[in-house]
């Protein structure tokens, strides 16, 4: 299950204090485990003087349903895919889900999402937006 953790951080950059809400996405089974991993990561940053202070604000099941690590890039994007199909009783049903991926530009992200949408499904791309999510992989969580 993907868990989204929102954290209020205080960082000093170029002698200026900056407050920011950061979002972390983790693939964990329970909320406590996700909170522990983010806390450990940020405590390490505090000890390295990269972070002044932090406070966990919320934990919830992420709206992102899939993390696509096959593409690489500098920027993080969330794409919304939509699939419309007929139920056995003839009613039309729409399913939407979000995919987290990395690319260097919006056009590259669009190309990646088109490739994902065409892999055996009849899905449409509803939207793509650049986000500032931090994805903590298992290797980073060990």
Domain CATH for 20: 3.10.20
Does residue 142 lie in a domain region?
A: no
User: What per-residue confidence (pLDDT) applies to 69?
Assistant: 85
Domain that residue 90 falls in: 64-133
Verify that 97 and 45 share a domain, yes or no. Answer: no
DSSP 4-33: EEEEEEEEEETTEEEEEEEEEEEE-SSHHH
The per-residue pLDDT for range 34-56, each reduced to its tens digit, is 999 999 999 999 998 889 999 99
Structure tokens at 30: 């329970």
Q: Residue 26: which of 44, 40, 45 has the closest Cα?
A: 40
User: What per-residue confidence (pLDDT) applies to 97?
Assistant: 87
Is the pLDDT reported for residue 65 higher than 50?
yes
The per-residue pLDDT for range 66-109, each reduced to its tens digit, is 999 888 899 999 999 998 888 889 898 888 889 999 999 999 99
Is the pLDDT reported for residue 140 higher than 60?
no
Verify that 53 and 75 share a domain, yes or no. Answer: no
Structure tokens at 25: 């996405």
User: What per-residue confidence (pLDDT) applies to 141?
Assistant: 41
The domain total for the chain is: 2
Verify that 30 and 86 share a domain, yes or no. Answer: no
User: What per-residue confidence (pLDDT) applies to 139?
Assistant: 56
Last residue in a domain, options 16, 42, 62: 62
14-23, 54-63, 131-140: least confidently modelled range: 131-140
User: What per-residue confidence (pLDDT) applies to 86?
Assistant: 84
Is the pLDDT reported for residue 5 higher than 50?
yes
Is the pLDDT reported for residue 142 higher than 50?
no
Does residue 123 lie in a domain region?
A: yes
| Strand ranges in 49-122 using DSSP code E only, listed in sequence order | 53-61, 64-67, 75-86, 92-103
Does residue 18 lie in a domain region?
A: yes
The chain-wide mean pLDDT, for the chain, equals: 90
Last residue in a domain, options 62, 78, 109: 62
Q: Please provide the size of the chain in residues.
A: 142
């Amino acid at each position: 299950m993907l868990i989204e953790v929102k954290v209020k951080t205080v960082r000093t950059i170029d002698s200026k204090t900056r407050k920011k809400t950061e979002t972390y996405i983790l693939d964990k089974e329970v909320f406590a485990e996700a909170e522990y991993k983010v806390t450990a990561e940020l405590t390490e940053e505090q000890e390295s003087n990269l972070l002044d202070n932090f406070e966990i604000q919320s934990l919830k099941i992420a709206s992102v349903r899939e993390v696509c690590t096959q593409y690489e890039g500098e920027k993080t994007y969330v794409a919304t895919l939509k699939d419309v199909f007929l139920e056995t009783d003839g009613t039309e049903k729409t399913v939407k889900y979000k995919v987290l991926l990395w690319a260097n530009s919006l056009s590259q992200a669009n190309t990646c999402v088109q490739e994902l949408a065409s892999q055996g499904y009849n899905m449409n791309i509803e939207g793509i937006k650049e986000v500032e999510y931090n994805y903590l992989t298992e290797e980073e969580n060990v």
